[in-house]
Structure 1
């Protein structure tokens, strides 16, 4: 145990001297570093959809109670693996709506990806199995969020790996918004949890 502590202290001392050596740079390089970091952050931000700039509409589901999704929508032993019922009022100027369910607790795991043909009431089980797989958390409680995007025009394609992790989901959403960033009119949002074993 003592030899481990001595080794750890020596390693820390070496790293400290290494870091001290790295900080002895010319004044020009010190000025340039923050600018480079800021530019990287700006570029990363510009790739993602900024939801705060969009208006919202009310979205509801008969399968969400007190912030918890009904077991029937899950792909579990007690569930039926059917898409939840959704409803919202028509949005002026929208020709269609993109529907997503994402497990934000698991790297934006994409459980639902559909586009409606202007429908604003989706009955329970509306989505085919090729577009919907219910929650099936391996353990614990997960957050399952539904987003419905009101779109002026149907996009040619919507990125996102179905039944898989999608860390770049907000980048994909920005692509739906188009080059002019005006295809998404507004959005509706619901969040509910489901706990493994319920």
Structure 2
């Protein structure tokens, strides 16, 4: 997984944060296993003061990526830590935080409905992860 807007361990442009347009960044997916039935994306901030903060939870059909401020057709959005089923961009209260994008290729479609929690998604994915990709962006 890559983004044309920032590299691994590089600064996320402000347009993808609460200081800018708060739009989701474009992401490209590479080398998806042939037997993958769907993809799951988790974006969270492990440096949040009260513990890991979930910014974006998404289950989607297998595809090549996500366009800027876009959502794949037939995607199912989970509930972020703000309690909303949408993308919530980086918005750290202080210091530089890491924003971890994890993409999972799954051999089965998880039985989740709009508004699912990260815990529900992780339970539904157990035993079904074929591969995982990681992209970390930084923001201050």
Aligned to 1:63: 5
Aligned to 2:131: 186
Is 2:110 aligned against 1:152?
Answer: no
Q: Classify 1:126/1:94 alpha carbon distance in 2 versus 1 (closer, same or farther; 3 Å).
A: same
8 Å Cα contact 1:84-1:124 kept in structure 2 = yes
Is 2:98 aligned against 1:143?
Answer: yes
The 1-side partners of 2:121 and 2:63 are apart by 23
Aligned to 1:92: 34
The 1-side partners of 2:61 and 2:86 are apart by 15
Paired positions, count: 122
CA RMSD of aligned residues (A): 2.1
- Residue 68 of structure 2, aligned match among 98, 102, 124: 124
> Residue 64 of structure 1 aligns to a residue in which SS?
coil
TM-score of the pair, normalised by structure 1: 0.56
Q: Which structure 2 residue ranges, 5 or more long, are not aligned?
A: 72-76, 78-83
8 Å Cα contact 2:42-2:102 kept in structure 1 = yes
8 Å Cα contact 1:176-1:184 kept in structure 2 = no
Q: Which has the larger radius of gyration?
A: 1
The 2-side partners of 1:92 and 1:192 are apart by 28
Aligned to 2:125: 177
Instruction: Give the helix-richer structure, 1 or 2.
Output: 1
Q: Which structure 1 residue ranges, 5 or more long, are not aligned?
A: 1-58, 161-168
Is 2:88 aligned against 1:133?
Answer: yes
The 2-side partners of 1:96 and 1:156 are apart by 12
Higher RCO structure, 1 or 2 (CA under 8 Å, sep 6+): 2
